[in-house]
Chain A
Amino acid sequence: MLIPLDMLKPGEWADVAEVGGDSAWVVRLAELGLREGCRLQVLQPGSTCLLKIANCRLCLRSGESSQILVMPVRG
């Protein structure tokens, strides 16, 4: 089941299924490592959330994170 990124709870792992939004923004996120197929963990939830992707920590706002659909997986 795909859910928006901002619905994940702290500590949960997920695979990114789809990154929505303006294409330049999608490329920007991809450059930062957030792209379809990557695995992430939510470190801090909320409207500005903190994610761990590979060895990087990214923070983004819910407006942006709700456009990202993920498939929750077990860490």
Chain B
Amino acid sequence: MTPNTITVALVGNPNAGKSTLFNALSGLRQQVGNYPGVTVEMKKGHFTVGDIRVNLIDLPGTYSLAARSPDELVAVDLLLGRLPDEPAPDVVLSIVDASNLDRHLYLTTQLLELGKPVVVAVNMVDLAATQGIGVDCAALSRDFGIPFLPVQANRGVGLDVLQEKLLEAAKSGTAPEPLALPAALEHETTRLVVKLGTAVSPFQARRLILDVNGATEQWFVAKLGDGLSQSLGEIRARLAAAGCPVPAVEARTRFARIREVVAKCVSKPTIRPVNRTDRIDRVLTHRLWGSLFFFAVLFLVFVSIFWAAKPLMDLIDQATKWLSSLVEGAMPVGPLRSLITSGIIAGVGGVLKFLPQILILFAFIAVLEDCGYMARAAFLMDRIMSRCGLSGKSFIPLLSSVACAIPGIMATRVIENRRDRLATILVAPLISCSARLPVYGLMISLFLPAEIYSALTQGLMLFGMYMVGFIAAPVVSLVLRKTLLRGERSLFVMELPAYKRPSPPMILRRVIDAGWSFVRRAGTVILATMILVWAALYFPHNSPDGFGFDERAEVLSDVAKSTDDDVRDKLGDKPIESELAKLGLDVTKPPEEIREEAGKRARATKAEHQRQSYLGRTGRALEPVFEPLGWDWRIGVAALASFPAREVIVGTMAILYEVEVDENNDPLVSAIRADWDTSSVRGRHRIPVALSVMVFFALCCQCASTLAVIHRETRSWLWPTFTFVYMTVLAYAGAFVVFQVGRLIWN
């Protein structure tokens, strides 16, 4: 590292405006750093002042340095410079909310003990001023001996001075005077450091003593043995006897000092003005009006997803079609063309079609979260969630899962209680995600044809399918909390941030991130699966008598498609004639009958090709398994092929029914309908079969990425395996019940 590079760590409470300050300082020059084995995400950015480059690390928002989880411990280790791959920060930048100084300074007083220069940015001074709160930064600087600087991160006010002070602090490198903690505590800290040696810094020793059963204690006990927990118990007993009960002594000492300083440096209005947030909250957190508003918002979100995305989806459809026709024009008829058009373009295009809906959904979620409304929704839903053993904090992840379970599962990081978090992760994949839309769309138009049923009926059916997940998830979580994840009742406390205007760049960034990861997925997992499915259905492609199935089908359909004259021409042509004879066509018959016969045989050859392919053999072998669900081997194969990514079903069905998916799925729908009509089961019970397919897809975990994310977030293979097994069993049972009951109803 060159001497003209400095590293600054940004630390602050949630809702202090940390991300805003980070974005204001580093602009677009930022990236997200992921740490192996942990789920903390630390954003990194940089800016230059003169010829000095300042690297900025944005730590996750926290109320305290008392680490409660291994993830929080990583943030503390970074501040202490104990992460092997990260340079120790030269300066700690603490951001506090001017309107909530007494509370936010708690973390700042802990930062003073890190042994690094600290600079404090007092954010939102303008907002505090409108509430009649005056902050004397100069007085605060004198009292704490570190620079306190007023800033307005959202408007970029005060950033020049802040940057200057950061450089000054880095240059001097002097650590501030920490707040005086009780002598007994400091004495025990020193003794512990001496006892444990270089393995422990004074800061860590203090946390070891103060954070009863915290992450620091668990980590060091695992490393140094159980003797440590015994001596910690003795230390805490001695401190309690000396009038310093752990952990209360820390909060008491720090807040006493903060109260004393704030009384001198902050002027507060004698009357409490009712601010804008209070006025809005009076309605939006109201039991009745707030709940009504919430459902109206949900309704708006769903309506926009289906209506606003339509023109864009049509555009993507047209692009897919155009691309298909381009390939068809440039390539000769053959298996490769079928792979590219009906496999890759239709499969991947059919998935990309849902990009507009995903972007709209993510935009809504980003706006609702950024303006502060999500926390209100979580508050309103806490009562319902608590009945199923979850908390309001589980609600946001579950709502996000409507877009995709992956961001939903990642959003569970805010849930502190381990069992709550695990239960939420395990049920999040039950919520119908946007990838289920293609399946629902296909099946609904299959048994509720648009010619007969209105869009409203179809919409209600779709809503019904979403309800399957919304009902199943709480029920399963309740069962989990009573059995596998039985444990301490979770304590629930959550802060509701003040309302603010959402920031368009932040929303744009989130929407672009979501869109990009979706496109990448379509280009990798789904593309690979489509190719595998195609190959498993194509090979072996030679019949026992040496004919290539596809070539034979090709000749037959050529004959079937030919005009009267063509057929005569072909009949007059010796080699073709012998070939036709070999194909079993009677050359003496009139051209019309030959054509008809050829068409039938072409279809039969294609069907035989699929039936004897590897996937077809597997499907037929498993037919007894699919039968109770009302499925034939084709549906079974499509469902099996969709296990890596459920969107694959549309492309697989397209390959199975040999149609190129274009223009609103209709050819596929009619092909499936025609095929079902030939079967005694599916012809008579079209509705129960379609319902059983939809219920299976609603409840099944057909998404390799979700399982991978569950593995990453739980750091175990047990939970992804468990999720996969329980959801597959649930899906099979659900589809079974729906078909068997439906068969009785629609007999």
List B residues at the A interface (Cβ < 8 Å). 63-64, 66, 97, 99-100, 102-103, 106, 131, 133, 211-214, 245-248, 250-251, 255, 272, 277-278, 281-282, 285-287, 379, 382-383, 386, 392, 489, 491-496, 498
**Closest CB-CB distance, A66 to chain B, in whole Å?**
12
Q: 26 pairs across A/B with beta carbons < 8 Å?
A: A21-B491, A23-B212, A23-B248, A24-B212, A24-B214, A31-B63, A31-B64, A31-B106, A33-B103, A35-B255, A43-B278, A43-B281, A44-B379, A48-B383, A55-B99, A56-B100, A56-B103, A58-B494, A58-B495, A59-B492, A60-B492, A60-B494, A61-B382, A61-B491, A64-B492, A64-B493
A9 at the interface (CB under 8 A from B): no
C-alpha gap A52/B495 in the complex (Å)? 10
**Closest CB-CB distance, B249 to chain A, in whole Å?**
10
**Closest CB-CB distance, A36 to chain B, in whole Å?**
9
C-alpha gap A47/B384 in the complex (Å)? 11
Q: Which residues of B contact A43 (CB under 8 A)?
A: 278, 281-282, 285
Option from A35, A52, A63, A75 in Cβ contact (under 8 Å) with B251: A35
Q: Looking at chain B's contact residues, is the secondary structure mostly helix, strand, loop, or mixed?
A: mixed
Asked if B382 contacts A52 (CB within 8 A), the reply is no
Asked if B131 contacts A55 (CB within 8 A), the reply is yes
Contact with B along A2-38 (1 / 0, CB 8 A): 0000000000000000000111111111111111000
**Closest CB-CB distance, B180 to chain A, in whole Å?**
19
C-alpha gap A22/B106 in the complex (Å)? 20
With an 8 Å Cβ cutoff, the count of chain A residues facing the other chain is: 33
A54 at the interface (CB under 8 A from B): yes
**Closest CB-CB distance, A22 to chain B, in whole Å?**
8
Q: Looking at chain A's contact residues, is the secondary structure mostly helix, strand, loop, or mixed?
A: mixed
List A residues at the B interface (Cβ < 8 Å). 21-35, 43-44, 46-48, 50, 52, 54-61, 63-64, 75
Asked if B248 contacts A64 (CB within 8 A), the reply is no
CB-nearest residue of chain B relative to A59?
B379
Asked if A54 contacts B100 (CB within 8 A), the reply is yes
Q: Which residues of A contact B213 (CB under 8 A)?
A: 24
Q: Which residues of B contact A35 (CB under 8 A)?
A: 251, 255
**Closest CB-CB distance, B237 to chain A, in whole Å?**
14
Asked if A27 contacts B248 (CB within 8 A), the reply is yes
**Closest CB-CB distance, B196 to chain A, in whole Å?**
23
Q: Which residues of B contact A26 (CB under 8 A)?
A: 248, 251
Asked if A27 contacts B247 (CB within 8 A), the reply is yes
CB-nearest residue of chain B relative to A61?
B492
C-alpha gap A29/B251 in the complex (Å)? 10
A48 in contact with B492 given A32-B103, A55-B100 (CB within 8 Å): yes
A50 in contact with B496 given A27-B66, A31-B106 (CB within 8 Å): yes
Closest 5 CB pairs of A and B: A30-B251, A57-B496, A48-B382, A33-B103, A31-B63
**Closest CB-CB distance, A69 to chain B, in whole Å?**
16
Known: A31-B251, A57-B277. 5 other contacts (CB 8 A): A24-B211, A24-B247, A30-B251, A57-B496, A59-B392
Q: Which residues of A contact B277 (CB under 8 A)?
A: 57
C-alpha gap A53/B99 in the complex (Å)? 12
**Closest CB-CB distance, B540 to chain A, in whole Å?**
62
Asked if B66 contacts A48 (CB within 8 A), the reply is no
Q: Which residues of B contact A44 (CB under 8 A)?
A: 285-287, 379
Asked if A47 contacts B383 (CB within 8 A), the reply is yes
Option from B245, B246, B247, B285 in Cβ contact (under 8 Å) with A50: B285
Q: Which residues of B contact A23 (CB under 8 A)?
A: 212, 245-248
Asked if B492 contacts A56 (CB within 8 A), the reply is no
C-alpha gap A23/B250 in the complex (Å)? 12
Q: Which residues of B contact A34 (CB under 8 A)?
A: 493
A63 in contact with B489 given A31-B64, A32-B63 (CB within 8 Å): yes
Q: Which residues of A contact B212 (CB under 8 A)?
A: 23-24
CB-nearest residue of chain A relative to B15?
A56
**Closest CB-CB distance, A10 to chain B, in whole Å?**
9
**Closest CB-CB distance, B5 to chain A, in whole Å?**
34
